[in-house]
Structure 1
Amino acid sequence: MDIRGIDHIELFVGDARQAAFYFDRAVGFQLRGQGGPETGLADQRSLLLSQGDVRMVLTTGLTAEHPASRYVQRHGDGVAVVALEVDDAAGAYAELLRRGAVGVTPPTTYTGADAEVVTAEVGGFGDVLHRLVSRRGDADEFLPGAVETTPPDGGGKLLAEIDHLAVCVPPGQLAGTVGHYRDVFGFAEIFAEHVEVAGQAMNSTVVQSPSGRVTLVLLEPDRSRRPGQLDAFLDRHVGAGVQHLGLRTDDIVTAVATLAERGVRFAGTPASYYDALEARVGPVDAPLERLRDLGVLVDRDHGGQLLQIFTESMHVRRTLFLELIERRGARTFGSGNIRALYEAKERELAAAGTTVAAPTPQEVRA
């Protein structure tokens, strides 16, 4: 079984058209297609959006019994399906079941004049499913006969691809979730750490497909410490789920400036964070004052630097948010920014004669 990458993600949302308006006008996605009862997708409305190599489906249930309606009632708007690109969806489904995966939807074939797409679904984490997708023929056809697609209009591509998904699981479930992706999906553990800051603590393990194209950052709060951002997510989301979606860009300065002009709200970064930045990570190949103005964070690992920033959540429960990330050789996820941000805020508030506050969820990457 060869998991090549992420074919698409599907969000279950309360109002697909309203969500599409935000992702189109603010984040720069293009509406590429839609489906519903008239195309055989019973009791649902699905809109397909794309930008760069990112494909996103927004689905709203049209009845109270539809899975999307039940998902939104329990969790709010969020990522419900992470679709994996494979060479043979039917074969991958059989292999995953043999390894212990929970089957949800057996293989289904969608056939058009110039394309054939086969899908199947298995359980992932919490209420999130993995859809296996294999494609033949016209790459612009998404689900022939079910989602009517239109060609892209050649608009800008600020975002290139899905870099990673950050997944929050309840305390005590991290090891089992890691084992599930290792033993069933064949992922490898590439990084693990225990992070403590401001009386909060969490465990993190990164798992990745053999292709290197699917990366999950698995997070678990340490409830022996003070409740923090992960506890808040689990309470508001009501269980495990995707906390944030990491989107890679080739030019984070342009992307952040453009999205901010369109109304996207980004998490603030204290100005003092940048005072010791180059002492911590070395010379930065970007205008430091511009990074300060935009609030872009910088970190380094053995491979190079990464630049990252988090949006505020666009959802009423304040759960799912986005990360923009530009990799300049770095392969990890900015863990050094957690303590650096906290210490910078401590200096800033101490200078103002007040007490330190813990970083917000978006100020301290997952």
Structure 2
Amino acid sequence: SKAVARWCQGDINLIVNCEKEGFAHSFHLMHGAGVCALGLKVDNAAATFERATQLLDTPFRQAVGPGELDIPSVRGVGGSLVYFLDDTSELGRVWDIEFDDTGESRANAAGLTRVDHISQSMHYEEMLTWLLFYTSLLDLRKVAPQDVVDPGGLVTSQVIEAPDGGLRLVLNASQSTRTQSSRFLSELFGSGVQHIALATDDLFATLARFKQAGVRLLDIPENYYDDLEAKMDLPAERLEALRAANVLYDRDGDAEYLQVYTETFEQRFFFEIVERRAYRGYGAANASVRLAAQARGEALR
């Protein structure tokens, strides 16, 4: 038995590794608490691994213990790992093989369904390398990059996504040393995952569960909702519901996007919870509001 736990809900699998040896422990010693690995489901894990090693020549291998699978992996952003899984080999049974079901009740599920997107922060000069790696290895398309206003400067945000939305990555970089993206790099001692967005079909129902569980959310300033009222012409009761729950809102035609953020862990990593209503974007109009709110929260702590 290892000090490794799987937390799952819907199609989401989060692994918390508290082992005192191995890669995850070494990563923690160097970077602190953070995301040391990503697992990607592909059509053929072995073929994808072979292609990845041709692109980067950074395969990763470690000892495989009893009851464990030899999961193909390479070193990715910031020295973290990228594991490749598929449904055509025994890798498709990884959760059954490597983890025991505790039998704990699912009654406290919060309605989370899947990973919506993963945001990685990196040095500006690294962005092209990782953009080429992901788009050469996987069936991902580029979305037009955007510059997001941070209280400390501009952050360039590049989205790459699968045609069906099954995998979405957001690469962030800044040439200013004072942005949140750059501070993340200095505090983590390198590039890495800054936040993970989880999807729900009913954000307000999910937030009700969060409140019961004591999850602390990012406080959004009142003036955001005053501006939202002027721009979106939302019904008063709906606007008040957004305000009371610290929900950010965006709209594109009839498509809508609702999003909230947790407070940051160790002032660097956080979760985003989103509800998409036929919306394809990432709430870019709200990014500067979120960054300012996080900067204010960090200053108060």
Richer in helix (by share): 2
Distance of 2:90 and 2:152 partners within structure 1: 53
Q: What's the counterpart of residue 278 of structure 2? A: 329
Distance of 1:159 and 1:221 partners within structure 2: 31
Distance of 2:173 and 2:182 partners within structure 1: 9
Q: Classify 1:341/1:162 alpha carbon distance in 2 versus 1 (closer, same or farther; 3 Å).
A: closer
CA displacement at 1:147 relative to structure 2: 2.5
CA displacement at 1:212 relative to structure 2: 2.5
Q: Deviations over 1:81-131 (max 9, x none)?
A: 11111232222222332344521139x89989xxxx772101221122110
Distance of 2:19 and 2:106 partners within structure 1: 31
Q: Classify 1:217/1:286 alpha carbon distance in 2 versus 1 (closer, same or farther; 3 Å).
A: farther
Q: What's the counterpart of residue 201 of structure 1? A: 154
Q: What's the counterpart of residue 190 of structure 2? A: 239
Q: What's the counterpart of residue 98 of structure 2? A: 146
Distance of 2:237 and 2:132 partners within structure 1: 40
- In the TM superposition, 1:234-273 aligns within 5 A as 234-273=185-224
Q: Which has the larger radius of gyration?
A: 1
**1:84 is matched with which residue: 40, 50, 71?**
40
CA displacement at 1:220 relative to structure 2: 0.3
- TM-score, normalised with respect to structure 2: 0.86
Q: Classify 1:338/1:72 alpha carbon distance in 2 versus 1 (closer, same or farther; 3 Å).
A: same
Question: Which amino acid counterpart does residue 43 of structure 2 have in structure 1?
Answer: D
Segments of structure 2 that go 5 or more residues without pairing to the other structure are none
Distance of 2:135 and 2:91 partners within structure 1: 30
CA displacement at 1:297 relative to structure 2: 0.7
Kept in 2: contact 1:209–1:215 (CA 8 A)? yes
- TM-score, normalised with respect to structure 1: 0.72
Q: SS at 1:92's partner residue?
A: helix
Q: What's the counterpart of residue 160 of structure 1? A: 113
CA RMSD of aligned residues (A): 3.1
CA displacement at 1:78 relative to structure 2: 1.2
Kept in 2: contact 1:163–1:248 (CA 8 A)? yes
Kept in 2: contact 1:54–1:162 (CA 8 A)? yes
Kept in 1: contact 2:151–2:179 (CA 8 A)? no
Alignment of 1:104 with 2:60, yes or no, is: yes
Alignment of 1:49 with 2:2, yes or no, is: no
Alignment of 1:283 with 2:234, yes or no, is: yes
Q: Deviations over 1:236-284 (max 9, x none)?
A: 1111011111011111112123212321111111122112314323536
* Paired residues, number: 296
Question: Which amino acid counterpart does residue 173 of structure 2 have in structure 1?
Answer: E
Richer in strand (by share): 1
Distance of 2:279 and 2:138 partners within structure 1: 25
Distance of 1:102 and 1:194 partners within structure 2: 31
CA displacement at 1:177 relative to structure 2: 1.7
Q: Classify 1:170/1:286 alpha carbon distance in 2 versus 1 (closer, same or farther; 3 Å).
A: farther
Q: SS at 2:48's partner residue?
A: helix
Alignment of 1:126 with 2:84, yes or no, is: no
Question: Which amino acid counterpart does residue 233 of structure 1 have in structure 2?
Answer: F
